[in-house]
Structure 1
Amino acid sequence: MHCPRCGARLAQAPPTVCAACSYASYVNPRPTGTGIIVEGGRFLAIRRVRDPRAGWWDLPGGFCDAFEHPADAAVREAREELGLSIELGEFVGMYIGTYEFQEESLPVLDCFWLATVAAGELRLDPSEASEHEWFPLADPPQMAFSTMDAALRRVAARLAP
């Protein structure tokens, strides 16, 4: 590992301080925003086409852009991935997870909201998803990331009759 500021070799993996320039290096979680789009006891899932976890069921969402609030990221990602405008409802929760990228296991802070479709016609971005399906909240498939499984369990418990 090398210092991102001066390029000097680090004595250990972050968190650490560079001996050459005193830059403090951390591995902080990357925030995400995801809408759990619900309708009549069901939720909308998409099948991933990209790694990690290509072929697994996913929820529409993704990483925040610089200085973007996770709620705004959830709305943006639904528009980009599904062509839909969504309205966010109740905050479901934040979950610490991992994301495999460039041979690293990165920490993520996944933020979930209940959501409904506000406008638009569903059209998948083929670079993101190959298909979509409405699944019952009471019986979801295993999702691409464990944080999604946990958030869906919480939503199912909250919305159970």
Structure 2
Amino acid sequence: MTVEARFCPRCGAGLRAKPPTTCAACGYALFVNARPTANLIVHDGHRFLALKRAMEPRAGLWETPGGFCDGWEDPATAAVREGREELGVEVTLGEFVGMYVGSYDYQGERLPVLDCFFLATLDGAQVRLDPRESADLAWFDLERPPPLAFETMDRALSDAASRLGR
């Protein structure tokens, strides 16, 4: 199910149309905006680090480290935080790769997301996965990734490979 508000979040009146719309009762303008995420393409020049998802959605598929930005959190700050949380190490943030509109299934809804990807390198420490989030890790060739959990990751990896001269 896609996110579609049927009632005004301010006054509770029924809405005449799906967002973007304006509540006829109180004038509140309602939009469905993409939620920002911050993602890392941890690389060693020709390979990237992928994590196997341990939880839904899309458990068992490979992904790049990342997650949702907290309210008012800059995506670059969120990317470093996500690296620390998911990999258990500090990462060195590199070049911004790009932003890609995608979707994320959560609580029975399909949410729009704006996935922000950054190149990154490890600080040399041993990666310690959070077992609640990741079941395994592996290094893959940037030009031959495995099936990935989210379509934006394929586009970002392709752009990253181009930037890294692959």
Counterpart of 1:21 in structure 2 is 26
Residue identity opposite 1:48 in structure 2: R
> Aligned ranges for residues 2-81 of structure 1 at < 5 Å?
2-81=7-86
Cα distance per residue 1:83-141 (max 9 Å; x no partner): 01111111111111111112222111111111001254211111101001011112111
Task: Show structure 1 runs of 4+ deviating over 3 A.
Answer: none
8 A contact 2:45–2:164 mirrored in 1 = no
**Could you state the TM-score of these two structures normalised by the residue count of structure 1?**
0.95
Sequence identity percentage: 58
RMSD: 1.2
Q: Distance in 2 between matches of 1:15 and 1:40?
A: 43
Aligned length: 161
**Are 1:128 and 2:133 an aligned pair?**
yes
- Superposed CA deviations along residues 20-45 of structure 1, whole A, max 9, x for unmatched, are 11111100011111110001411100
Residues 29-74 of structure 1: per-residue CA shift (max 9 Å, x gap): 1111111000141110001112111111011001100000111111
What TM-score, normalized by structure 2, do the two folds share? 0.92
In structure 2, the partner of 1:106 is: 111
Ranges in structure 2 where 5+ consecutive residues have no aligned partner: 1-5
Could you tell which deviates more after superposition, 96-105 or 25-34?
A: 96-105
How much does 1:17 deviate?
Answer: 0.9
